[in-house]
Amino acid sequence: MTDRARLIPIIVACPLLLQNLDTSIMATALPSIARSLGVEALHLNLAITSYLLSLAVFLPASGWLADRFGTRRVFCAAIVLFSAGSALCGLATSLPQLVLFRVIQGMGGAMMVPVGRLILLRSVPPARMVAAMVWFTVPGAVGRLAGPLLGGLVVTVASWRWIFLLNVPFGIVGVFCALAFIEDTQEPHDARFDLPGFLLLSIGLVGMVGGFDTAGRGLVAQPVTFGLIGCGALALVAYWFYSRRHPEPIIDPLLLRFRAYRTAVVGGMPLRIALGASPFLLPLMLQLGFGLTPLASGSISVATAVGSLSVRALMGPAIRRIGFRRLLIGATLVTGCFYASYGLFSPATPHALIFVVLLFGGLFNSLAMVTLNTLGYSDMPKPQMSRATALASMAQQLSISVGVAFAASLLTLTAYLNGGSAAHLIARDFSPAFFVVGGLTLCSLLFFVKLAHNEGDELRQR
């Protein structure tokens, strides 16, 4: 690939750098933020899920906005909104304020990632997509790599507020690079914005995720939890029937008729739920369960990102020699085993051993995710790309949001079964949660084994 062809994937992946840096830093800093705001550490999962849920709610509009106003213009505006939300988060003085500002931050993030991916899909020919996707993962892996260490360092020597304020200069650099190197593309688009569909979908997602996020943890009364879940489910069912009759729905479920795309979106959900749960559980286990400092926790957690970054050297040769289907099945199987193995860690486990296990876990998880994200668009017609990226990104963020809520509920349950409480977590409370997360990952194999043996062969060319 030429230098410019490499630059485009890296630039459009800047949002992944910002998001992964933000998420991984915050996960490391959760106990410190909880002490500062006077809340339980597990209650801060609201600050994570509110951001992820905001992403899922506003993602459906990204495809329409990109087609209507141009990809580069929407991409830059999204980075600006994300950075402004980050600055506000750094000024928050209570949990409700932090949750509100995370929602604003998520509105920007909702447009950054899918529009960036759309720029990539429109700019890179299919024969070079594997190489482009590998370069696309680099900034995100750098964010995961720097996040735990940076978060531990910031919390140790300064205030947790700087974990949000640090996003602002990165956002400025991202905007300047996009304006300098990315051409603006705009598809002919006369369709009106599907406001009724957007509202139905938003109510459905907020109700379902909000209900599961508060279930069994005393944040709201149980009737409120059941009411949220019920309203959310009804709204999603209503949207399904509504979208079947609408000529231009904001999210088109009929896109799932494409087998590779359906496998990536639906089949990848258990894998992505685990991807959301593990980074939430790991820093809490190391700090609250094992008694490590934020800096020591970040120094160990960074191993996952090191393994993820290492995938760039392996991805191309692995796909060409093994093929998409076998690589996806094998990497997912090994990833599930690694997630479960985290539950075997104890305060007496050597830190070097934990680091090595996390490193290989990150490597195989990244192999599975890059393979899945590349294969998912192999059978998608180009006119449908903008809507396909919006639906896939929405499902991805929704899965990760559910993963965080699922992990918090698992910890609450295991602490109760062990005779303790979520306010005073100990090391043994984390093991069952990781075992469940590892088992959940393997559910994706039920979809992956149904892929054709030659699935994605056209993408195996250099």
pLDDT (0 to 100) of residue 462: 44
Q: Which of 22-36, 51-65, 271-285, 378-392 has the highest mean pLDDT?
A: 271-285
Phi, psi at 345, each rounded to 5°: -65, 150
| Confidence band of 141 (pLDDT split at 50, 70, 90) | low
One-character DSSP codes across 363-429: HHHHHHHHHHHHHTTTT--GGGHHHHHHHHHHHHHHHHHHHHHHHHHHHHHHHHHTT--TTS--GGG
Q: Evaluate whether 296 touches 286 at the Cβ level (below 8 Å).
A: yes
Distance CA 18, CA 147 (A): 10
Given CA atoms 332, 337, 340, 345 in this order, what sign does their dihedral have? negative
**Tokens 């003085």 belong to which residue?**
93
For the stretch 54-74, pLDDT in tens is 877 787 777 778 778 887 888
pTM, rounded to two decimals: 0.74
pLDDT (0 to 100) of residue 457: 61
For the stretch 352-361, pLDDT in tens is 999 999 999 9
Phi, psi at 276, each rounded to 5°: -80, -35
Return the H-helix or E-strand segment holding 314: helix 311-322
More confident residue, 109 or 313: 109
| Confidence band of 437 (pLDDT split at 50, 70, 90) | very high
More confident residue, 217 or 324: 324
Measure the CA angle with vertex 203, ends 104 and 227; round to 5°. 115
What lies within 8 Å, CB to CB, of 215 at 6+ separation is 225, 229, 409
| Confidence band of 88 (pLDDT split at 50, 70, 90) | very high
Distance CA 384, CA 388 (A): 6
Distance CA 331, CA 96 (A): 39
One-character DSSP codes across 143-207: HHHHHHHHHHHHHHHS-TTHHHHTHHHHHHHHHHHHHHH---------PPP-HHHHHHHHHHHHH
Distance CA 392, CA 376 (A): 9
What lies within 8 Å, CB to CB, of 103 at 6+ separation is 50, 51, 54
More confident residue, 151 or 207: 207
More confident residue, 218 or 262: 262
Please choose, from the candidates 408, 263, 257, 380, the residue with its C-alpha nearest in 3D space to the C-alpha of residue 332: 263
Share of the chain above pLDDT 90, in %: 13
